[in-house]
């Protein structure tokens, strides 16, 4: 079957160990080999050796390393120049490796032991950059990552991590036989049933030898009071939210005065207080005389 941007392999195939927590199917590595035709593959986080076994089956040379074998992908250089580097990191602490899957104690360089999600991303970016550096010009970096859910919040690693090199393909790999698929949920939890393979390329051109394309998608927070692009409804509703969902008209005016939209209206001599009153009347609830609350849920 030809490779598409959706990869599904209900049968795992031969190679690596199905018992190694967080392993991937060798069928995925084999499909990527058929597509990219590498002559030398590197896997610096090889785990149970899935990609290595797949490469040997396909007659491709391979170099493998992992922290459990003494190779630290954070600082150690990949000793070969591969056409394809396969990188399958831990998904932060979804599965903790050192001291659990292998070894007797926690290893501080283990990405799955990163003390926070932010620190994990920093380390993952470092590992990716190291992997990118070793690539032969024109070579590909394939990073297999999934999303993480903690206390109802999604941590989309694929978006939050950096992408090094020219983006080539984003392949969605559907999950089979994962632990979560066997559980029954109360109805408000949506199990994650896919991962991503982010494939980028190191350019060949002489002009870009020193330049690396970096895509940085980290989460950031922007103060919405600084934008005039917020509509009046949203400005009034967010003002009310900032005041605990219910507030007097005077307090609403006071809180809204620091908003760029209100400041602009004031500087133009527009009756911004009338706009706020009209928005409150048309969209919010009057809970007592002069006191307004966010609109009721319908």
Ligand X SMILES: C[S@@+](CC[C@H](N)C(=O)[O-])C[C@H]1O[C@@H](n2cnc3c(N)ncnc32)[C@H](O)[C@@H]1O
Q: Which of 62, 88, 235, 261 binds ligand X (CB under 6 A)?
A: 88
Residues 135 and 85: beta-carbon distance below 8 Å: yes
What whole-number distance in Å separates Cα of residue 235 and Cα of residue 161?
32
Q: Which of 40, 58, 74, 212 binds ligand X (CB under 6 A)?
A: 74
Using CB under 6 A as the binding rule, whether residue 165 contacts ligand X is answered as no
Q: Which of 7, 22, 32, 161 binds ligand X (CB under 6 A)?
A: 22
Measured from the CB atom, the residue of 82 and 89 that comes closer to ligand X is 89
| Best CA proximity match to 51, nearest among 82, 91, 96, 93 | 82
On the 0-12 / 13-18 / 19+ scale of CB atoms within 10 A, 42 is buried
Query: Site map for ligand X, 31-50, x if CB under 6 A?
Result: -------------xx-xx-x
Using CB under 6 A as the binding rule, whether residue 90 contacts ligand X is answered as yes
- Part of the chain binding ligand X (CB under 6 A), chosen from 88-96, 149-157, 242-250, 290-298: 88-96
CB count, 10 Å around CB of 224? 15
What whole-number distance in Å separates Cα of residue 163 and Cα of residue 141?
10
DSSP 3-state of 73: coil
What whole-number distance in Å separates Cα of residue 5 and Cα of residue 197?
9
- Part of the chain binding ligand X (CB under 6 A), chosen from 89-97, 184-192, 263-271, 284-292: 89-97
- Part of the chain binding ligand X (CB under 6 A), chosen from 30-38, 68-76, 153-161, 213-221: 68-76
Residues forming the site for ligand X (CB under 6 A): 16, 20, 22-24, 44-45, 47-48, 50, 66-68, 71-74, 88-90, 97, 109-112
């Amino acid at each position: 079957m030809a490779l598409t941007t959706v990869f599904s392999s209900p049968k795992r195939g031969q190679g690596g160990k199905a018992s190694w927590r967080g392993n991937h199917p060798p069928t995925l590595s084999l499909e990527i080999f058929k597509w990219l035709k590498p002559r030398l593959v590197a896997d610096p986080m090889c785990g149970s050796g899935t990609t290595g076994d797949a490469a040997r089956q396909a007659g491709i040379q391979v170099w493998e390393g992992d922290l459990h074998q003494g190779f630290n992908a954070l600082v150690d250089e990949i000793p070969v120049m591969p056409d394809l580097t396969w990188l399958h990191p831990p998904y932060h602490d979804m599965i903790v490796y050192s001291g659990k899957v292998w070894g007797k104690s926690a290893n501080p360089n283990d990405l799955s032991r990163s003390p926070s999600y932010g620190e994990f991303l920093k380390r993952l970016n470092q590992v990716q950059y190291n992997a990118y550096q070793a690539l032969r010009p024109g070579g590909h970096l394939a990073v297999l990552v999934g999303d993480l859910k903690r206390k109802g919040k999604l941590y989309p690693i694929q978006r939050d991590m950096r992408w090094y090199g020219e983006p080539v393909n984003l392949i969605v790999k559907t999950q089979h036989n994962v632990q979560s698929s066997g559980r029954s949920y109360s109805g408000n939890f949506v199990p994650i049933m896919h991962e991503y393979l982010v494939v980028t390329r190191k350019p060949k051109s002489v002009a870009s030898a020193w330049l690396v394309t970096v895509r940085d998608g980290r989460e950031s927070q922007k103060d919405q009071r600084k934008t005039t692009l917020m509509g009046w409804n949203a400005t009034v509703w967010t003002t009310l939210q900032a005041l605990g969902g219910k507030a007097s008209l005077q307090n609403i005016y006071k809180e809204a005065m620091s908003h760029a939209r209100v400041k602009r209206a004031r500087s133009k001599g527009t009756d911004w207080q009338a706009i706020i009153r009209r928005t409150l009347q048309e969209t919010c609830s009057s809970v007592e005389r002069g006191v307004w609350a966010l609109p009721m849920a319908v």
